[in-house]
Structure 1
Amino acid sequence: MNEHSSFYFQSYEQWRHAITVRCNINLTPEYARARIHALSDPNDLHTQEFAAKYGDAYLKQVVAWFTRAEQST
């Protein structure tokens, strides 16, 4: 089991709550698009670090959640 598995959010609702309530980030379509763009860039250092730490599957899940947030806000 991955040592970071307790960090992973298991649902969109958990993830959205962490972003909007715990981190106090306004999850606007513009913010979501910016995060999707950054997380989809394999040359972005932060994206590389995220993928190395949490894995490609979780990276894709987070991008999917940002895409859902962009479409629902």
Structure 2
Amino acid sequence: MNSPVIPSNFVEWQNCIVRDCGIALDKAFLESRIAALSNMKDQHTKQFLRLYGEAHYKQVLGWFHQALVELK
């Protein structure tokens, strides 16, 4: 069984979501994920921080913001 690969840059992250997961990076999706990840009371956000650490959390949140900017 293959271990999941944690993206280390924007392109890998984008490919993971779009190609591997089949999720469109549209405005509604990006804004909803940014809102969820920005909510420090959200259990999933807390779990993400526990599992991947603050540095990766900030990186991923930045990639969501970058993707949103690239839509414009």
The alignment's TM-score, normalised by the length of structure 1, stands at 0.87
- Structure with the higher fraction of residues in helix conformation: 2
Identity among equivalent positions (%) equals 34
Write the deviation string for residues 1-50 of structure 1: whole angstroms up to 9, x where unpaired.
xxxxx732111000000000000001102111110110011000000000
Tell me what 2:45 maps to: 47
Tell me what 1:64 maps to: 62
Tell me what 1:3 maps to: none
Classify the secondary structure of the residue corresponding to 1:55.
helix
* 5+ residue gaps, structure 1: 1-5
Aligned length: 68
Higher relative contact order (CA 8 A, sep 6+): 1
* 5+ residue gaps, structure 2: none
Q: What is the rounded CA distance, in whole Å, between the counterparts of 2:12 and 2:70 in structure 1?
A: 16
Conservation of the 8 A alpha-carbon contact between 1:29 and 1:70: yes
